[in-house]
Structure 1
C-alpha cells in the first residue's frame, strides 16, 4: 500500500493512493519497502522514482538501503542513476550508507552506459557526483579510504 501523506507517523490513518506506474504519478508518496520490492519484481520503469520517495518517507535506513542496493544493480541505466540519487538522499537525510551500497557505487564509477538513448550523459557522471555528496554529508570515518581520497574521474 502507498500512502498519500509522507509526514504521517505510524498508527496515523492515512489515505491510500492509486499509483500510476506507467506514467509515474503519485510515486512520490511511496513509504513502504514492499511496494518498491513489488515494483522491482514487475520491472516497473519508474521504480527509481518510488525508491527516492522511499528514502524520503521511510526513516528505517535498514529497510531502505537494501532497496537502494537493488536499484544500483538494475539493468536499467535510468534506475541506476535514480538509485544513486537515492543513495545521496539517504546519506543526507539519515546520516549513513552501508558497505554494500558504497561498493556498488565504486563499481558504477566506471559505468559508461548512457542514461537513455537521447542523452550522452553516462551513469558514471551521477556516480561521481554521488561520491562528492557522500564526502559532504557523512563523516570521513564512516567512509572507506577511496571515498575520502576521491577527486573525480
Structure 2
C-alpha cells in the first residue's frame, strides 16, 4: 500500500482508497480490483488467488485484462483455482458481455478434467466447466460462441 507523506492513503486512479488484501486468510479479497494484485498472487502461488480473480471480474472494467487473468487461472495446476477461474469466466460473460477465444479453448479442455476440486471431494473440475458452458449459452448471444458451445449438452 502506498501512503502520502502525511500518512493518508493515496487514492487509486478511480478515486477509491487502496485495499490492503489479506492473502493469508482471504477475508477481504472480494475487494480486489487491480490486475497487478492478481498477477502477484499467481506468481506467489497464493491459495486464495481464485477468490481474488472472481472479485477482479466484478471490480475491473478492463475486459481484456480480466480475461487474460482468467485464462491464467484456467491453466493453474491447482484444481480449486481452475474451478474458481471457471466461475470467474461465468461472471465475465454475465457482467462484461463477452469471453475470448483463449478462455473458450481452455474451457473446452476442462470439460474433460476429472480432477477433484479438493482432496476427498466428489466434485470434479469438469462439472464446473459444464456449468460454465450453460452460463455462456444463457448470457451470450449464439453468434459470439463457437458451434461446440451452442450445441453442448451435459449428458
Q: Distance in 2 between matches of 1:118 and 1:18?
A: 33
1:26 CA displacement: 1.0
Name the counterpart of 2:22.
20
Counterpart selection for 2:63 from 57, 61, 64 = 61
TM normalised by structure 2 equals 0.90
Determine whether 1:11 maps to 2:14: yes
Q: CA offset at residue 55 of structure 1?
A: 0.2
Q: What RMSD in Å do the two structures reach over aligned CA positions?
A: 1.5
Query: Matches of 2:128 and 2:36 in 1, distance apart?
Result: 26
Counterpart in the other structure of 1:5: none
Candidates 46, 49, 59, aligned match of 1:47: 49
Q: Which residue of 2 aligns with 1:133?
A: 135
Query: Runs of 5+ in structure 1 lacking a partner?
Result: 2-7
User: Aligned partners of 1:17 and 1:72: how far apart in 2?
Assistant: 25
Higher Rg of the two aligned structures: 2
Per-residue deviation at 1:11?
3.5
TM-score normalised according to structure 1 size: 0.91
* C-alpha displacement of 1:109: 0.2
